[in-house]
Each structure stands twice: as C-alpha cells, then as structure tokens.
Structure 1
C-alpha cells in the first residue's frame, strides 16, 4: 500500500491568533507537492505542524500513524549552521544516530555520494562559516537527503539559490522521488518553478486550503487576481507548461471563504 500523508481539520493557533483553519487533504507519496500561496498564507505554519514543531489540533497522519520526527526530513525556512564544522561533518550529522567513536566507511561513502549528487564535492573540507547562503542551503538539503526520508518537508529550500541551482535542486528532488517513492512537500514562492517541477500543488490563503490539484487546474487568472492580487498573462511554452508573466498589481478581492468564523 502506497504511503500517504493525511491532514484532517488541522488548526493552529498562536495565542489568540488562529493561523490555520481546518486544513484537510490526502496526499499520496511518490510525488513532489508544491505548497504555494502569498506571504502569510500559512505555508510555514503547516510544514512546522506536520513536522511536530508546532502544536496543532486535528489529525496529521503518515502511513496511518502520527508523524514520527525521527523518520522524516525537515528543513525549516531559516536554517543555518553557526558551529565551526566542515561541510562533510555537517553532512554526516544527517545520520547522527548511527555515528560512534569511529565512523563506518559506508557512512562516509554515502556522504561522499550525496555531495557528488549535489555537485558540491569540492566544498567537503570547507568550513560552513565560509560558505554563501546558497551554498549552506545546498549542504543542509544534502544532509536531509542522506537519511533518505520517505517524507521530506522543505520550507523554501531554494530561496537563496540562483536560477540554475534552483532548477538543479528540483531536478535532484524529482530523481530522488523516482528512486525512493518518497513524498516531498515543498513551500515555494516561484509559481513557474512550481508549475514545471511539482506534480500537484496545494494553494493556501488566509490559513485555509483554497485548492489542491494539478497546477493548471489550481492556478487560473481569477485565482491570481483574488489570491495574489495580480493581473498576469499565461504564455504557452514548448514543454506544454504555461509560463506566468505578472503584468500589474490589482486590489485583492474579499473572499468570504477566507474570513474567520
């Protein structure tokens, strides 16, 4: 039976402020799912709730059981290493529960392979403190993949990367999903990246799940006006995936579905 992430009426409240409102979805493994929506939509909150970093009401189940933080890979939005560690040492910490006084050769070999996978083998001996923000982001993502989690939660894991590295990482994630059958849930702001690399998307707005499905069914001119507050043109591409070209801002229309009860 294929693994599945199930969300049932997930609510998150911080003090007197309700951030998520009854988010429900059933998401099969074996795909990359883009978590999209404007700033403040609840994307980071939902990922943190799934990862067990925030208290939430409702049900969050992975393969029919509560999510075990030890079995998932989670990369929060602002993730940095401040300790004086080398890149290779940081990668190896991805299997910290297996490390002892002597690191097994197969663990070192696996770390070397993941560095090559991300095309950052030349950084292995470098201190994390000498890396750019984008390089650190690549290292920390590689660290998460070293454990080969079946559920990978990424909060804007490509935000510090240039265009080439964004495309490279998303291609690597596709290869990873094809090889392992994992579920990757990634918050992403760039709608064109989501359109090209995500099998399905979940659109959040005002703490509610507005739509869940194939990108071209979820993202329409009306949605861009009402949720993102923009006028945009959809330009056909050779791949068959339309390119979204923002044209101008527009006033965001009030949507009764987005009001608090």
Structure 2
C-alpha cells in the first residue's frame, strides 16, 4: 500500500496572528507536490509544521501514524553552513547518528555516490565557506538525500540555482521519487517551474488551502487575479503545458479606513 501524508485541520498561530487556518489534505507518496502561493501565504510555516519545527493544532499522519523524524528530510529556506567544514563532512552529517571515531566504508561509499549523483564530486574536499550560495544549496540537498527519507520537505530548494542547475535538481528529485517512492513537497515561487515539474500542486492563500490537484485545474486566470493579483496570458507550448506570462498587476482597492490613518 502506498504511503500517504494526511493533514487534518492544521492551525498555527503566532501571538494574535493566525498563520495557518484549517489546512486539511491527503497526499499520496510517489510524487512531487509543488507548494505554491503568494508571499505570506503560509508555505514555509506549513513545511515547518509538518517537519515538527512549528507547534500546531490539528493532526499530521504519515502512513497512518504520527510523523517520525527519521522519515523526514527537511531543508528550510534559510539554510547555510557557516562552519569550516568540507563538503564531504557536511554530506556525512546526513547520517550523523551513524558516525563515530571511525566512519564505516558503506557510509563513505554512500556519501561518494550521492556526490556523484549530484555531479559535485569535485567539491568533496572544498570548504563550505568557499562555495557560492547555489553550490551550498546543492550540497545541503545532497545531505538530506543521503538518508533516503520517505518524506522530503524543501523550502525554495532551487532559489539560488541558475536555470540549468534548477532543471538538473528537478531531474534528480524525479529520479529519486521513481527509485524510492518518496513524497517530495517543495515550496516554489515560480509558477512555470511548478507547472512543468509538479505532479500536483497545493495552493495556499492567507494561511488557507484554496486549491489542491493538477496545476491546470488549480491555476486559472481568475485565480491569478484573486490570489496573485495579476493579469496574465497562458501561452500554449509543444509540451502541452502552458507558460504563464504576467502582463500587469490588478488594481488594488484601498480600504477607506486605511486612508484615514
């Protein structure tokens, strides 16, 4: 039976501000799910909540049970290494619970394979402090995959990468899902990236889940106006996946109460 992530009535509140409200979904493993929505929609908070980093009301189940940290690979948005560690050392920390005074050959072998999988074997001896932001992002993603988590949570994991490396990482994630049957939940700002590479999407707005399913059923011109506040053209392509071309922001009505302040 395929694993499943179930979210039941998740509420997250910081002080008087409600960040998530009544988020419920049932998500099958074996796919890449794009978590989309405008700034402040609650995407990062939802990933933090699923990973156990943020307290919440409601229930989160993986395979019918509370989520075990050992099942999760989580890469938050602000994720950098500022210590004088080599790339190989950072990769090995992905299996920190197995490390000791002597590192087993199978662990070193797994680290070498994941470096090769990401095409960064040549960086193994380099200090993390000498890497660009995009290179660090690749290393930290490779670290998360070393343990082969069944639930991979990524917050803007390709934001520092150029287009070629974005495509490379998405292909690696696709291969990973095909090989392991894992569930990848990735927060994405780029709607065209989400359209092309997500099996399904979850659309958040104002802390609520307002759409869940295939991209072309969730994202429509009306949704772009009401959620993203833009007018856009949908341009057909040979792949059958349209490209969204933003044209202009929609007019924003000013609250008359705000005008008096």
**What is the match of residue 59 of structure 1?**
59
Cα distance, 1:116 vs. partner? Answer: 0.9
**What is the match of residue 94 of structure 2?**
94
**What is the match of residue 258 of structure 1?**
none
Cα distance, 1:90 vs. partner? Answer: 0.2
**What is the match of residue 155 of structure 2?**
155
Cα distance, 1:99 vs. partner? Answer: 1.0
Cα distance per residue 1:178-223 (max 9 Å; x no partner): 0000000000000111011100000000000000000000000100
The alignment partner of 2:141 has SS state of: helix
Tell me the distance in 2 between the aligned counterparts of 1:208 and 1:251: 23
Q: Is the 8 A contact 1:225 1:253 kept in 2?
A: no
**What is the match of residue 239 of structure 1?**
239
**What is the match of residue 248 of structure 1?**
248
- Residue ranges of structure 2 left out of the alignment (5+ in a row): 255-261
Cα distance, 1:252 vs. partner? Answer: 5.4
- Residue ranges of structure 1 left out of the alignment (5+ in a row): 255-261
Flag as ranges the 4+ runs of structure 1 deviating above 4 A.
none
- Higher deviation after alignment, 243-252 or 26-35: 243-252
Cα distance per residue 1:153-178 (max 9 Å; x no partner): 00000011111111110111001000
Cα distance, 1:68 vs. partner? Answer: 1.4
The alignment partner of 1:204 has SS state of: strand
The alignment partner of 2:24 has SS state of: strand
Q: Is the 8 A contact 2:115 2:124 kept in 1?
A: yes
Tell me the distance in 1 between the aligned counterparts of 2:42 and 2:251: 21
**What is the match of residue 120 of structure 2?**
120
Q: Is the 8 A contact 2:230 2:247 kept in 1?
A: yes
Cα distance, 1:82 vs. partner? Answer: 1.1
**What is the match of residue 259 of structure 2?**
none
Q: Is the 8 A contact 1:74 1:154 kept in 2?
A: yes
Q: Is the 8 A contact 1:42 1:205 kept in 2?
A: yes
Cα distance, 1:101 vs. partner? Answer: 1.1
**What is the match of residue 224 of structure 1?**
224
Cα distance, 1:70 vs. partner? Answer: 2.5
Tell me the distance in 1 between the aligned counterparts of 2:189 and 2:251: 20
Cα distance, 1:253 vs. partner? Answer: 7.7
**TM-score w.r.t. structure 1 length?**
0.96
After TM superposition, list the pairs within 5 Å mapping 1:85-234 onto structure 2: 85-234=85-234
